[in-house]
């Protein structure tokens, strides 16, 4: 039951470039941290575009936006196409954005062709997927799926002590709908791969079968501020030296447990003065692996590294696991919809597990979910130079359209039985 509906590649590309202006950076990336004025601007723009297509836009209590196009049978929960419009501080034009704007292109195509689906079709913009400003990542899809209570999200603070709730209310996106009350029949998320595999193998489509497990830790190391001139080496309690030992140890854990990965990404050194021996360091650790047992081993080795390295430098520390997202497998029936869709357009494809986290990892807890990847240049992402081509964006959007219609057809057959 595949149609001949074709997305408009030019319009999709123009829309991607147009919205990159909301938080655009000189280096050609996007800095659109969640719940900032730039996030508000792109949300307002997105809502207007969806309403112009006749979609109803609802917002839930943590700012998740749901733009719904009615179908023949509106008693069915919508088939959703979701991703995120927030970015990293030095993000690119495509991470998250491609998924939401390709979904908008699908909606525009259905609308202009006056194509009636059986189930309602929906675009979802998930709040704070990145977790860069308000950790952890995937915070609002986590509230939607019952992983976190809304109050937990509301209390999260950025590094300036501002709360998620303050900002959500300030930009006017604290919606009336209780997160999770809104049901979904299915969700597809289109995303750039953010890794090198598809490009290296000249594959256009990644048929994503799951997402690897992820854990985040916050570690505070304490020593003693002291004078860099008058304090002999043997009398120092240098927290930054301790941090250096831990940064090395974390990298060694990642090297040892490949394909797992391990990273120290954020570090704050205090007082960060050139003639003071640093007395306190705050740093974050990001551990990931497709296998939960391997993640347990990596976590154990992190704990031992802390216990071994820091007391030896007369430093104290506290470590706090702030987030854990278990490895996820996606819905086989939706994966098949993606395969069918990619084959219809003759795109070379391959199965893969996502290295990056995505809202789909949480949505899979409450509805059949899967993802579609397209390549990005050099596998580079979370970088202002992140790039992909109009053809790759169009291929992803076309597969998204055809996968959603294949899913609609499958659900119709199920409900007709
Ligand atoms: O951290 C992640 O994998 C995602 O980009 N938020
Ligand atoms: Mn993303
Ligand atoms: Mn990201």
What is the Cα gyration radius of the chain? 23
pLDDT at residue 417, rounded to an integer: 52
Comma-separated ranges of CATH 3.40.630.10 domains in the chain: 9-212+327-416
Angle between helix 37-52 and helix 97-112 axes, rounded to 10 deg: 20
Angle between helix 332-344 and helix 390-416 axes, rounded to 10 deg: 130
Given ligand 1 and candidates 98, 131, 327, which is best to mutate, with the most ligand atoms within 8 Å of its CB? 131
Angle between helix 390-416 and helix 9-19 axes, rounded to 10 deg: 110
Indicate the pLDDT class of residue 2, thresholds 50, 70 and 90.
low
Whether 270 shows a pLDDT value over 70: the answer reads: yes
Taking CA atoms only, the protein residue closest to ligand 1 atom 2 is 357
Report the nearest atom of ligand 1 relative to the CA of 131: 6
356: Cβ below 6 Å to ligand 1?
Answer: yes
The per-residue pLDDT of the chain, averaged, comes to 97
Question: Which ligand is nearest to the Cα of residue 99, counting in written order?
Answer: 2
pLDDT at residue 413, rounded to an integer: 82
215 C-alpha to ligand 2 centroid (Å):
17
pLDDT at residue 167, rounded to an integer: 98
pLDDT at residue 297, rounded to an integer: 98
Place of tokens 């994503």: 208
382 C-alpha to ligand 3 centroid (Å):
6
Given ligand 1 and candidates 83, 136, 189, 357, which is best to mutate, with the most ligand atoms within 8 Å of its CB? 357
Taking CA atoms only, the protein residue closest to ligand 1 atom 6 is 130
pLDDT at residue 3, rounded to an integer: 75
pLDDT at residue 414, rounded to an integer: 76
**Percentage, residues of the chain above pLDDT 70:** 99
Instruction: Tell me the pLDDT tens digit for each residue of 388-416.
Output: 999 999 999 999 999 999 999 999 887 66
Report the nearest atom of ligand 1 relative to the CA of 96: 5
Mean pLDDT of the 368-390 span: 97
Whether 295 shows a pLDDT value over 90: the answer reads: yes
Whether 265 shows a pLDDT value over 60: the answer reads: yes
What residues pack around ion ligand 3 (CB closer than 5 A)? 95
Comma-separated ranges of CATH 3.30.70.360 domains in the chain: 214-325
What is 9-212+327-416's CATH topology? Aminopeptidase (3.40.630)
CA distance between the termini of the chain: 17
Look at domain 214-325 and name its CATH class: alpha beta
Instruction: Tell me the pLDDT tens digit for each residue of 120-161.
Output: 999 999 999 999 999 999 999 999 999 999 999 999 999 999
With a CB cutoff of 8 Å and minimum separation 6, the contacts of 374 are 98, 190, 191, 192, 193, 198, 204, 205, 206, 388, 392, 393, 395, 396
Rounded distance between C-alpha atoms, residue 162 and residue 183, angstroms: 31
86: Cβ below 6 Å to ligand 1?
Answer: no
Residue of 3 and 344 predicted with greater confidence: 344
Indicate the pLDDT class of residue 1, thresholds 50, 70 and 90.
low
CB-based contact 34:128 (threshold 8 Å): yes
Rounded distance between C-alpha atoms, residue 218 and residue 241, angstroms: 17
pLDDT at residue 342, rounded to an integer: 98
């Amino acid at each position: 039951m595949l149609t001949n509906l074709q997305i408009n590649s030019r319009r999709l590309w123009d829309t991607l470039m147009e919205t990159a202006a909301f938080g655009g950076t000189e280096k050609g990336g996007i800095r659109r941290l969640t719940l900032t004025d730039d996030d508000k601007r792109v949300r307002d723009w997105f809502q207007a575009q969806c309403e112009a297509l006749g979609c109803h836009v609802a917002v839930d209590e943590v700012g998740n936006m749901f733009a719904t196009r009615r179908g023949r049978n509106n008693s069915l929960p919508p088939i959703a196409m979701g991703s995120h419009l927030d970015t990293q501080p030095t993000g690119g034009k495509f991470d998250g954005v491609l998924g939401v704007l390709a979904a908008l292109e699908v909606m525009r195509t259905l609308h202009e062709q006056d194509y009636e689906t059986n189930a309602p079709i929906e675009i979802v913009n998930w709040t704070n997927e990145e977790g860069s400003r308000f950790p952890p990542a995937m915070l609002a899809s986590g509230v939607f799926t019952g992983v976190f209570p809304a109050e937990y999200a509301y209390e999260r603070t950025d590094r300036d002590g501002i709360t998620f709730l303050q900002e959500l209310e300030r930009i006017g996106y604290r919606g009336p709908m209780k997160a999770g009350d809104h049901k979904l029949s299915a969700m597809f998320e289109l995303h750039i791969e953010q890794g090198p595999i598809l490009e290296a193998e000249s594959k256009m489509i990644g048929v994503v079968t799951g997402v690897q497990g992820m854990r985040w830790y916050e570690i505070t190391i304490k020593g003693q501020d002291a004078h860099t001139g008058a304090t002999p080496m043997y009398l120092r309690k240098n927290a930054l030296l301790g941090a250096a030992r831990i940064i090395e140890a974390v990298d060694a854990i990642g090297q040892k447990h490949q394909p797992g990965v391990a990273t120290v990404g954020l570090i704050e050194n205090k007082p960060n003065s050139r003639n003071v021996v640093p007395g306190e360091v705050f740093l974050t650790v990001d551990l990931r692996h497709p296998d939960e047992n391997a993640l347990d081993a990596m976590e154990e080795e992190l704990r031992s590294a802390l216990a071994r390295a820091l007391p030896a430098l007369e430093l104290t520390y506290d470590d706090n696991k702030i987030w854990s997202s278990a490895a996820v497998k996606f819905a086989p029936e939706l994966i098949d919809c993606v395969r069918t869709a990619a084959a219809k357009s003759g795109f070379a494809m391959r199965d893969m597990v996502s290295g990056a986290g995505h809202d789909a990892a949480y949505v899979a807890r409450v509805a059949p979910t899967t993802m579609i990847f397209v390549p990005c240049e050099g596998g580079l992402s979370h970088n202002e130079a992140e790039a992909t081509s109009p053809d790759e964006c169009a291929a992803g959007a076309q597969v998204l359209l055809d996968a959603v219609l294949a899913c609609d057809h499958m659900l119709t057959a199920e409900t007709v039985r």
